[in-house]
Every structure is written in C-alpha cells, then in structure tokens.
Amino acid sequence: MRSQANSIAVFCSGFGSNFQAILDAIKKKKLNARVAVMVCDNPKAYALKRANKNNNPIFLFNPKTFSSREDYERIIVSILKAEKVDLVVLAGFMRILTPYFIRAYKNRILNIHPSLLPDFKGAHAIRDAYKAGVKETGATVHLVTNKLDSGPVLLQGKVKISKDDTLKSLEAKIHRMEHQIYPLAISRYMQQLN
C-alpha cells in the first residue's frame, strides 16, 4: 500500500519545464506527491498554462502591488499552511526568499540550480560555466538557506561540455539533467521527512 502523497507547493516564474517534469513524475508514480498549489509571480509565465492543464490550484501575485517581499510572503505562507503543504519546491522562481519565509519552512524548501554548486552561483550559471571554458557542469538540487545557492546539496547531475557545444545546446543538456534529478531528489527528501 502506498503511503499518503505529500503535499508540495511549486514556485515558478517562467516556462515551467521543471514543474512539468514534476507533474510527469507524479503521473508515472515515480513521485508520491500532489501539487497543492503552484505559486507564480509572472502573469505571462507559461508555467500557468501547465498548471491550468493539470487543474492545479494557482496563486498568482504581482510583487509590485506589495510594499515589501515579506508582505506577499505572509500571504503565501498562510495559503501554504491552509493547504497543509509539506514541501516547497522552487522551479525557476526568480525571487530571493526572505529570512521570514525560510524560517517558516525551515529545511522544507528545495531549489534546483543549473551548475555543480558551489561553482557558478547566481542567475547566469550556465552562461558563466560556458564562458569559463570548464569541461563539465551540471545541475544541483539543494536545500534553501538564507545564503544564496549555499544550502546543503541533496543531489547533483554532471553534464560534459564538448567543444561543439553552444550556449543553447549546453542549456538544453542541463535542462534535461534537471528534469531527471529534480523529481528523484524531491522523492528521496520526502522519504526522509516522513
């Protein structure tokens, strides 16, 4: 008998390909979870179409209508608590969370970063790795802490950079790796929590 599915909240800002990988893993029963809510800060995000197609509840907010990050995060936390969310999963969410939010979900926020952390932190990791001329890079799933891209590493996947790679082909390779390791890391981490 399968144990009850954990409730997750997925935070997106853009295309939502990692969100789709999570939805696919749930459908294939590789991830015992349900998406309680998808949180989005961008009304033009393609991730919203993915959530609608899957009948996932959505909380869409405009950060510009709030006086501070903590103001909208308080609303998000109240929604997550009402939905009994076990785990927050950042999937291309382009906002830095405040210490308030990180405290509210301490050790229950995962992120995927497109490099082999601690190398190439920040918003342009793929470009930075490509320009640096390194032989390999990859993707890292880590716990979110108050320090950017510095939480404990849960899982990494390596990607070789060939001399024929362009920035675009490297991005595609890294995204494929992300889609493989993120659902797996979420599943493993939730088993530790239960």
For 44-82, the three-class secondary structure string (H helix, E strand, C coil) is CCCHHHHHHHCCCCEEECCHHHCCCHHHHHHHHHHHHHH
Distance CA 40, CA 14 (A): 8
Contact 69, 98 (CB under 8 A): yes
Contact 127, 167 (CB under 8 A): yes
Report, as residue numbers or ranges, the catalytic residues.
113
